[in-house]
Amino acid sequence: MIIKVLGSAAGGGFPQWNCNCRNCVSVRAGAEGFRARTQSSLAVSRDGVNWALLNASPDLREQIANTPALHADPRVCLRHSPIKAAVLTNGDVDHIIGLINLREAQPFSVFASDRVLATVNANSVFQVLAPALVPRIEMKLDTPFNLEGGGVDLGLTVEAFAVPGKVALYLEDASAGGNYGSREGDTIGLKVTDPSEKKSFFYIPGCAEIDDELAERLKGASTVFFDGTLFTDNEMIEQGLLNKTGARMGHISMSGPAGSIAAFKKLGVGRLVYVHINNSNPALDENSDARKAIDAAGWEVGYDGMEVRL
């Protein structure tokens, strides 16, 4: 299996268009130790020919341009794309808007939970993806399925499972109390398996907490791409950017007793890669203490163009 990190930033990207935090100013200035990042997405393929997107970022057009494996192949046909499927993990802007880039009558399949499909179905702009060519397929939770689309079997299975989290920001219902009307299926993780090689990885770009169920699921996994939004829960407030904690946004932090570094210590995962990294995260500075702490804990910070082979 080949996994490519198309975009490693959280919603807004890095730098974010309207942000003058230390990180955004530094990366715009080309400072040493900073690299620009597009919004959150992976691509996966068993054979290097046909690919599935795991989330479709608003930056998808640029991501395709930067990734020769995703280019239209003139040897195949006049109109062609190696992208045969897109699998969505939530309804965030950073995870669904890239679908709009995949118009122009190209067949592929969209897979999402009932909750996320309802959002896509409710927004008429997504009808630019012709229903006859782009089926929208509901992923049942905890039920592995064969990944196929555009008339191609990708030779991979996908299992979607609910993780602790929150409904997309623009769907929050303030009157619904505690978790803003979030329900199971609003935020999911994916387990992608190549049955022929008996290899799997997990992709969980949004997660509020590693509860016992999730810990049990991830125990002993070979590779996990995981929510790296914030380093500390209150960093956006401390930097004066936004009056919200990570917990309020549905994102676990990297550091702290309840953070992901601590939670994964006991799980014996082979390779741990942070993705969906917010522009406020001090670990975006390769020379920071935060980055040193991540390195020391055995985590990698994913970057655009990173490739992992299993």
Using CB under 5 A as the binding rule, the residues of this chain from 237 to 296 that contact Zn ion are 279
DSSP of 273-300: EEESB-TT-GGGSTTSHHHHHHHHTTEE
Q: Which stretch binds ligand MLT (CB under 6 A): 61-69, 87-95, 117-125, 260-268?
A: 87-95
Q: Give the separation between CA 111 and CA 82, rounded to whole angstroms.
A: 17
With CB under 5 A as the contact rule, the residue among 19, 56, 163, 272 that binds Zn ion is: 19
State the binding partner of 109 from Zn ion, Mn ion, ligand MLT, none, CB within 5 to 8 A by kind. Answer: none
Q: Shortest distance, CB of residue 206 to Mn ion, whole angstroms?
A: 6
With CB under 5 A as the contact rule, the residue among 92, 148, 227, 285 that binds Mn ion is: 92
DSSP of 169-225: GGG--GGG-TTTT--TTSSEEEEEEETTTTEEEEEES--S---HHHHHHHTT-SEEE
CA quadruple 5, 140, 97, 218: dihedral sign: negative
Residue 11 within binding range of Mn ion, rule CB under 5 A:
yes
Q: Give the separation between CA 41 and CA 48, rounded to whole angstroms.
A: 17
Residue from 14, 100, 19, 98 nearest 63 by CA: 98
Q: Are 226 and 204 in contact (CB under 8 A)?
A: yes
Using CB under 6 A as the binding rule, the residues of this chain from 197 to 216 that contact ligand MLT are 206
Q: Which is nearer to Zn ion, 3 or 277 (CB)?
A: 277
Residue 189 within binding range of Mn ion, rule CB under 5 A:
no
State the binding partner of 2 from Mn ion, Zn ion, ligand MLT, none, CB within 5 to 8 A by kind. Answer: none
Q: Shortest distance, CB of residue 16 to Mn ion, whole angstroms?
A: 12
With CB under 6 A as the contact rule, the residue among 59, 92, 194, 235 that binds ligand MLT is: 92
State the binding partner of 21 from Mn ion, ligand MLT, Zn ion, none, CB within 5 to 8 A by kind. Answer: Zn ion
Q: Give the separation between CA 103 and CA 45, rounded to whole angstroms.
A: 21
Residue from 63, 145, 153, 81 nearest 112 by CA: 145
With CB under 6 A as the contact rule, the residue among 2, 72, 169, 297 that binds ligand MLT is: 169
State the binding partner of 120 from Zn ion, ligand MLT, Mn ion, none, CB within 5 to 8 A by kind. Answer: none
Q: Which is nearer to ligand MLT, 102 or 249 (CB)?
A: 249
DSSP of 224-247: EEEE-SBSSTTHHHHTTS-S--HH
State the binding partner of 24 from ligand MLT, Zn ion, Mn ion, none, CB within 5 to 8 A by kind. Answer: Zn ion
Q: Shortest distance, CB of residue 213 to Mn ion, whole angstroms?
A: 22
State the binding partner of 99 from ligand MLT, Zn ion, Mn ion, none, CB within 5 to 8 A by kind. Answer: none
Q: What is the DSSP letter of 23?
A: H
Q: Which is nearer to ligand MLT, 92 or 159 (CB)?
A: 92
State the binding partner of 12 from Zn ion, Mn ion, ligand MLT, none, CB within 5 to 8 A by kind. Answer: ligand MLT
Q: Give the separation between CA 276 and CA 293, rounded to whole angstroms.
A: 18
Which two three-digit tokens encode residue 225?
């791409």
CB atoms within 10 A of CB 295: 13
The radius of gyration of the chain from alpha carbons, rounded to an integer in Å, stands at 18
With CB under 6 A as the contact rule, the residue among 1, 4, 9, 12 that binds ligand MLT is: 12
Q: Residue numbers of the site for Zn ion (CB under 5 A)?
A: 19, 21, 24, 279
